[in-house]
Amino acid sequence: MHIGELRHRITIRRILPVINENGFEIEEPEEYRTVWAAVTNLHGKEYFEAKAVQAENTVKFTIRFLAGVDQTMQILFQGKSYNITAIDNIKYRNRYIEIQAMEVEPDG
């Protein structure tokens, strides 16, 4: 991975429970970090595995190592939200993290 490939800005968000004005608990996103990332669609074997479980809007984000990122978080990229489905610390070297995330369908 060359550092020049990290050319997209993404925002990693934590989802926190918040009590709204009616006393109900809702989930509210809070910005955790904004980082540079390489962004690719799944292809080949990964694409067909995702399609088998109808996860067609899955995207792969590669970022520099960032401690604290977990599967309860979301990624905001180009105005769309993505739920993190898998995190891979590449070769356990703490240099890059590969994150697979599935697009959240907008409410409507």
pLDDT value of position 48: 56
**What structural domains and CATH numbers belong to the chain?**
3-103 (2.40.10.270)
Looking at residue 106, what is its pLDDT? 73
Q: Which candidate, 28, 32, 96, places its Cα nearest to that of 60?
A: 96
Cα distance between residue 81 and residue 77, in whole Å: 7
Phi and psi angles of residue 50, each rounded to the nearest 5 degrees, phi first:
-65, -40
Q: What is the pTM of this model?
A: 0.80
- pLDDT (0 to 100) of residue 108: 42
Whole-number pLDDT of residue 15: 92
Q: What is the CB-side half-sphere exposure of residue 31 using CA atoms within 13 A?
A: 6
Q: What is the mean pLDDT of each run of 10 residues along the chain (108 residues)?
A: 87 94 92 96 62 69 95 95 94 94 79
Q: According to the model, what pLDDT value does residue 68 have?
A: 94
